[in-house]
Amino acid sequence: MTRLFPNLLVYDRDGAAWRASDKFLTTGAIHDRSGPSHAGLGRILRAKGEKAEIILFEQGFLASAYSWIESYRDHRPEAACLGYVYDDIAHYYMAEYPNRLIERLNGPQELTADETKRAQSAMNRIRDRRISKYNSQPLAAPSLGNAERRKVLVCDQSFADASTVYGLIDETGFEEMLAAAVRENADADILVKTHPDTASRPKGRAGYFSHLSDHGRVRILRDPINPYALFEHVDTVYVGTSGMGLEALFAGKRVVCFGAPFYAGWGLTDDRREIPHRHRSRSLEDIFHAFYIWYTIYHVPGAPVPSRIEDALDYIEKYRPVKAV
């Protein structure tokens, strides 16, 4: 990140320089209903109020050749974060607030033929090479039972994560989602995939479905697995706000949304609630280009900064600890 912002100063406590600053780059969100608020962002807002110029950032969806947790925890270059999204209005997952991503998707901009071709090429590469946000997960699926029986996927998420709180889905919504998957697919096995963070941080936050066990047609998948390895076995994917829903669209799956993720509401998903701030339809190439190419700024080791999405994909394929099947 310092390659993008060479004058960036890092603060972890109050000091004279911090108090004199009026421009801040920060991650995190404030929770007014549930979940922990980000201490640094809260301190900035309390101390500076509307005087502060704040740019919010989050890791992009091509976060690391490993996983975002490993990119924070480890100091190995090959596990580094490869790109962030930045917004001076609100985080992309805050469904009831405007942000730069939604502004662009609502706007009049249309992709050129070259931009569409580039988006299709990158999207196809991500799908075919099984590149995801979590790239240290096994690329082959375990045995999923009777291969002749139809299967649908239900995606769990970390409990009270900002993306669910601001994505307009709560514990009741996740319960309704699982019930709908069971009710609407009487001929199918229901695969519930826990969130990767709950497996990698066993003492951390639980998921909404962490308390469940296999029962009847419902099977809980707790071990790490690449999303595309699962998509091969299902035809429908149920999500709250999970990024796996967008990846499932890349794989040509039907996606049912019970929350309000940024990729819902544009005519590509089966939306079970009203999605705020949507004023037009968009293609999958539009969504992909907006988030992965326009909105995300990449900084790949050994590549120029800003880097290209192709640089990030090359890096992931070279350094991820699992190899394509």
Pick the closest to residue 121 from 322, 308, 295 (CA basis). 308
Helix (H) and strand (E) counts in the chain? 12, 10
Total domain count, the chain: 1
CB 29 within 8 A of CB 94: yes
pLDDT tens digit sequence for 9-33: 777 666 666 777 888 888 888 766 5
pLDDT at 236: 99
DSSP state of 5: -
CA distance 269 to 192: 19
The encoded tokens of residue 84 equal 């962030």
Asked if 156 and 208 count as a contact pair (C-beta separation under 8 A), the reply is yes
CATH assignment of the domain containing 188: 3.40.50
Describe the crossing of helices 309-319 and 113-128 by its angle, rounded to 10 degrees: 10
According to DSSP, residue 290 is labeled I
pLDDT at 39: 64
Backbone angles phi, psi at 127, to 5 degrees: -65, -50
The β-bridge relationship of strands 296-298 and 83-87 is antiparallel
User: Is residue 34 situated within a structural domain?
Assistant: no
Residue 201 structure tokens:
């941080």
Look at residues 324, 320, 325, 323 and name the one whose alpha carbon lies nearest to residue 136. Answer: 320
- Residue 73: inside a domain: no
Give residues with Cβ within 8 angstroms of 147, minimum separation 6. Answer: none
User: Is residue 221 a part of any domain in this protein?
Assistant: yes
> Looking at the domain assignment, is residue 78 inside a domain?
no
Rounded to whole angstroms, the Cα distance separating 298 from 285 reads 19
Residue 10 lies in a domain: no
Task: State how far the Cα of 143 lies from the Cα of 134, in Å rounded to an integer.
Answer: 21
Q: Which two tokens stand for residue 54?
A: 């704040």
Evaluate whether residue 204 is within a structural domain. Answer: yes
Q: What's the CA gap between 181 and 170, in Å, rounded?
A: 17
Read off the pTM.
Answer: 0.92
CB neighbour burial string for 160-198, b if at least 16 within 10 angstroms, e if fewer: bbbbbbbbbbbeebbeebbeebbeebeebbbbbbbbbbb
For the chain, report the end-to-end CA distance as a whole number of angstroms: 32
Whole-number pLDDT of residue 36: 62
Dist. CA 90–CA 275, nearest whole Å: 16
| pLDDT given for residue 324 in this prediction | 66
Look at residue 80 and tell me if it is in a domain.
Answer: no
Residue 166 belongs to a domain: yes
- Which of 238, 232, 208, 61 lies closest to 134, judged by CA? 61
Q: What's the pLDDT at 233? A: 97
**Tens of pLDDT along the chain (325 residues)?**
778 888 887 776 666 667 778 888 888 887 665 556 666 677 777 766 777 788 999 999 998 999 867 666 667 777 889 999 999 999 999 999 999 999 999 999 999 999 999 999 999 999 999 999 999 999 998 889 888 999 999 999 999 899 999 999 999 999 999 999 999 999 999 999 999 877 655 556 799 999 999 999 999 999 999 999 999 999 999 999 999 999 999 999 999 999 999 999 999 999 999 999 999 999 999 999 999 999 999 999 999 999 999 999 999 999 999 976 5
For 259, the domain range is 136-280
Burial class (CB in 10 A: 0-12, 13-18, 19+), 114: exposed
**CA atoms of 320 and 312, how far apart (whole Å):** 12
